[in-house]
A and B are shown apart, each in its own frame.
Chain A
Amino acid sequence: MTLPGQAQPRLSDGAFQSHYIPNTPADQADMLSTLGLSSLDDLFQDIPKGHRNPPLNLPGPLSELEIQQELGSLASRNRPLGSGPSFLGAGAYHHFIPSIVKALVTRGEFLTAYTPYQAEASQGTLQVIFEFQTMVCNLYDMEVANAGMYDGATSLAEAALMACRVTRREKVALADTLSPAYRQVIQTYCQGQDIQTTTVSAAAPDVDEATACLVAQYPNHFGYVEDLVSHAAAAHNKKALFVVSADPTAMGMFRAPGQYGADIVTGEGQPLGIPPSFGGPYVGLFATRQQYVRQMPSRLAGRTVDRLGNPGYVLTLQTREQHIRRERATSNICTNEALYALASTVYLAALGKQGLRQVAELCYHKAHYAASRIAGLPGYSLPVSGTFFQEFVVQCPVAPAEVNRRLLERNILGGLDVSDAVPNGMLLCVTEMCSRQDIDALVDALGEIG
């Protein structure tokens, strides 16, 4: 690969000096002399000679100014969501993020800290996790929540594995309305332990005595709210767990899964103050019932007292975890995406009780306005009936790929092509970021395309 690179930065005597490394050649020489060595190479004598100092073909270094130009140029070849009307969701959502979220998550004290193993030196991170756990519990109406997972998909996969541990069963039933990406991640996670995955009808889920859990999405992949009462009954009648992946924004408006008897609730935390960022980093939400707390994966922060009786926070119930339990741990996970758990916590603190409801209602009204206008266009219809939140399926008169191509010519980002599930189906998402003008532009464009 040939990429531009300037001449190596040099000191006046020609030696290499990086601005990220304080040691000068003089420092190095002094330090080496305390070791009785004369060059940095002497430190690497344990590497077999034939394999030491291999050629390293990387493009030359860039100054900060040049790197900003290069990244700026790469960024200019991507279309940001704010640059025109955008109606793509399907697991990553464009929502308003208050400025304070970035201001707080980029504070070096949060950004450049490690996992809070030394509790006395990490009370900020630990108290944030405690706040996060509280909020996740309250959003989903569950009893305990962990400190976070990689993302919504892996959170759900770990929930399926946990259900197998709790029930000592080795089969997982996935509703046919589950996100295909989520299904694939569950299958990846299950392959190692020979756990079988089956697909069941969301309309009438078939759960048997060998099934560890029924897994459903709320709202489902197509944006619609399913009958969670009958899902929970189908699972519980066979002593299986009911696992729900729920959109946290929808929780501003719709009943929480905990009120339907869900045993494990997971979710994608991205809608809560995290930019879409081409798919990550996000944070996975994970909550369950108190009785299963010792089967949970990932970190947990707990409140305790210090030697003087003052309250403080620590990582707790660590005997579940890999650094103690090794191959018998509940999971291999160490990372809880703490920085984005912080972002979600700040977001929910700022929006609060009223703000999250307002966001949810804006999404709901705008999505329904868009749906009703599109349904009135000749050639377009809404093939799925039922209650939806901010996403819905439109049946297009031509292939969705073609519709999307022609929308993009008008600088409109269309929806996800779901024609493998619904003939000529397109999954559209309308959030509070879409103005009425954006929606009307979409409707006009669809009218012209159809």
Chain B
Amino acid sequence: MPASPARDTSRLLMDRSEPGRVGAVLPPCDVPAQPLPDSALLRDRLDLPEVSEPEVVQYFTALSQLNFSIDTNFYPLGSCTMKYNPKVNDEMAFLPGMANIHPLQSSQVSQGALELLYRLQGFLGEITGLENVSLATMAGAHGELAGMLMIRAYHQARGDAGRKKVAIPDSAHGTNPASAAMAGFDVVDIPSDKDGSIDLEALRAAAGPDLAGAMITLPSTLGLFNPNIVEVCQAVHQAGGLVYGDGANMNALLGRAKLGDLGFDVAHLNLHKTFSTPHGGGGPGAGPVCAGPALRDYLPSPVVAQGDDGSGYTLSGPPCSIGRMGGFHGNFGVLVRAYTYIRTLGAEGVKAISGNAVLNANYLMQALKDTYHLPYDRVCMHEAVFSADWQKARGVSGLEIAKRLLDYGFHAPTMYFPLIVHEALMIEPTESETRQTLDSFIEALKRIDEEISSDPETVRQAPHSTPVARLDEALAARQPDLRWKPKA
């Protein structure tokens, strides 16, 4: 029996509900009571818990302690850029003049917010070389959908609606094909070549008059910069298509290369990755869309414009906008954090991010490549992708190695992605970790490799030190239990 039932996380809110307990007190009604509507319109039961305020705080605090997080653990989850999230960024988003403003209030009384958004559009346009920016999209995949709808609208406006195909490398994130499909396109898979770059010949073969465009992640999800990227963009353009850039991996490129210079027409950024806004356990994020000349008129609404008559900043819609992507103007609170981050760093700081993120990844790669198979042995960008197939041959899978890392206090790398690497372990250290942390992580991975020889069962049964042991995902899918229900 746990010492404190209020902190015992095995009891859900409804389990701890006691009639009559309240967790918040509201003021009395200070206007005369008004006649209520017909009782047929009113609800007779509402199943919410009845718990006191201390119980709420104790329960959720206890829950929080079951998580790994950047603040508590090294979190080298590849492709997710789990860097330190500066606390001042949160503080700025919580200022009453930021957090407590209504999205529909007159621009006259929201000039500070609009100016911040206008400046951020400028920063992101400068960083990507795609100078026209809409901040309205609320996640990376949301930006992808907007970008692909822009490409669709562009071809339609030119009377070229027969372009139905989108070329996507086989290393792409699953969101790329899913977003292309939502935008009405058919996906053509493009293989990678032996160096992990896009197979240019396969791309050229797919680049016919029905090609609408390509979706390219740079650096690729293998953590590699495609040296042929300019030729890739040219091949798409020569066929009449446009190039979409998935900016998930921009942490590697900050200040080192601009997508617009390389030939991209439109790209999204993940502010929750590259620009350090907290992931929150799965959002909120922000996925602004940056466009070059071909697509700027199609950006989602709204964008912030500056009146040339000194009248201040206003929200407006680009002339051929694909429309509105969300209820209001995007995830403002996230945008405030990203603005604060970029302002704090300046140009040299922004460039130091990519330099140190790439250095840390290469340092890990070099130290581990004799122990874990490195399928593409060349200088990597912000992340290193290993294969656990040497360990698999000795009877332990990549998944089991990842779970064992949790016992060492490290979050696992991304597993089994990209799909083209067998038993993939994708490690992204970011720039915000110390060399000492990297060394201890290297040490842990080497020790696990030794354990596979000396004590394989311990690795196979991992994790052992987490709040729960290995969970049965198959059971969860076979017998979905998706909400609390009263005991029968």
Contact = CB atoms under 8 A, between A and B. Distances in A.
22 contacts: A8-B346, A18-B349, A51-B230, A51-B257, A52-B256, A56-B351, A62-B343, A67-B343, A79-B105, A80-B101, A82-B100, A91-B104, A113-B281, A120-B468, A137-B483, A251-B46, A304-B475, A306-B469, A331-B182, A332-B175, A333-B142, A432-B26
B453 interface: no
A90 B345 CA distance: 38
Given A134-B483, A317-B480, A331-B178, A310 B468 contact: yes
B425 interface: no
Contacts of A68: 88, 91-92
Nearest to B346: A61
Contacts of A278: 98, 101-103, 110, 113, 328-329, 332-333
B70 A108 contact: yes
A183 B53 CA distance: 39
Nearest to A361: B29
B280 to A, nearest CB: 3
B363 A256 contact: no
A185 B325 contact: yes
Interface size of A as a range: 35 or more
B398 to A, nearest CB: 13
Given A68-B88, A253-B42, 9 more contacts: A20-B353, A67-B340, A83-B96, A109-B64, A125-B282, A150-B284, A192-B152, A278-B113, A327-B178
Contacts of B17: 352
Contacts of A285: none
B331 to A, nearest CB: 4
B141 A334 contact: yes
B138 A151 contact: yes
A435 B244 CA distance: 51
B97 A80 contact: yes
A254 B22 contact: no
B329 A353 contact: no
Interface residues of B, number: 204
B109 interface: yes
Given A76-B112, A150-B139, A255-B41, A131 B484 contact: yes
A1 B355 contact: no
A78 interface: yes
Interface in B275-308: 276, 278-286, 300
Contacts of B348: 8, 16, 61
A1 B229 CA distance: 30
Contact of B258 (A51, A138, A304, A372): A51
Interface stretch (A203-211, A233-241, A293-301, A375-383): A293-301
A5 interface: yes
Interface string A23-48: 10001101110110000100111111
B315 to A, nearest CB: 10
A355 B325 contact: no
Contacts of B41: 225, 254-255, 387
A115 B60 contact: no
Contact of B327 (A91, A133, A346): A91
Contacts of A43: 355, 358-359, 362, 379
Contacts of B65: 109, 124
A421 interface: no
Contact of A138 (B47, B336, B342, B476): B47
A314 B106 CA distance: 44
B111 A77 contact: yes
Contacts of A311: 10
B366 A35 contact: yes
A365 B34 contact: yes
Contact of A121 (B9, B57, B261, B411): B411
Interface in B56-95: 56-57, 59-61, 63-73, 75, 77, 80, 82-86, 88, 90-95
Contacts of B23: 98, 349-352, 355
Contact of A281 (B82, B111, B178, B334): B334
A439 to B, nearest CB: 7
A92 B104 contact: yes
Which residue, A78, A105, A111, A346, has most C-beta atoms of chain B within 10 A? A78
A191 interface: yes
Contact of A316 (B412, B466, B473): B473
Interface stretch (B198-206, B235-243, B431-439, B443-451): B431-439
B180 interface: yes
A279 B346 contact: no
Given A61-B345, A114-B279, A188 B324 contact: yes
A192 B113 CA distance: 32
A300 B332 contact: no
B323 interface: yes
A368 interface: yes
A355 B17 CA distance: 14
Contact of B255 (A53, A303, A318): A53
A276 B102 contact: yes
B394 interface: no
Which residue, A128, A188, A342, has most C-beta atoms of chain B within 10 A? A188
Given A21-B431, A23-B356, A413-B102, A56 B471 contact: no
A404 B68 CA distance: 49
Nearest to A353: B48
Interface in A119-173: 119-125, 127-128, 130-131, 133-135, 137-139, 144-145, 147-148, 150-154, 161
Given A191-B149, A192-B182, A277 B42 contact: no
A397 interface: no
Interface string A94-118: 1010101011111111111111111
B29 A324 contact: no
A314 B46 contact: no
Interface in A350-394: 350-359, 361-362, 364-366, 368-369, 372, 387
Interface string B123-146: 100110100000000111110110
A322 interface: yes
A335 B326 CA distance: 14
B347 interface: yes
Nearest to B276: A20
Contacts of A312: 467-468, 471
A16 B349 contact: yes
Interface in A425-446: 432, 435-436, 439
B98 A277 contact: yes
B102 A86 contact: yes
A408 interface: yes
A303 B481 contact: yes
A150 B138 contact: yes
Given A79-B109, A130-B484, A339-B283, A3 B119 contact: yes
Contacts of B99: 80, 275-277
Given A56-B351, A58-B347, A279-B332, A108 B69 contact: yes
A76 B432 CA distance: 32
Given A79-B110, A118-B402, A147-B282, A332 B182 contact: yes
Contacts of B280: 105, 110-111, 113, 337-340, 342
Contacts of B178: 322, 325-327, 329, 331-332
Contacts of A62: 343-344, 346
A6 to B, nearest CB: 9
B48 A369 contact: no
Given A51-B257, A78-B109, A114-B82, A317 B477 contact: yes
Contact of A333 (B141, B279, B467): B141
B140 to A, nearest CB: 7
Which residue, A311, A335, A413, has most C-beta atoms of chain B within 10 A? A335
A272 B339 CA distance: 27
Contacts of A128: 60, 63, 281
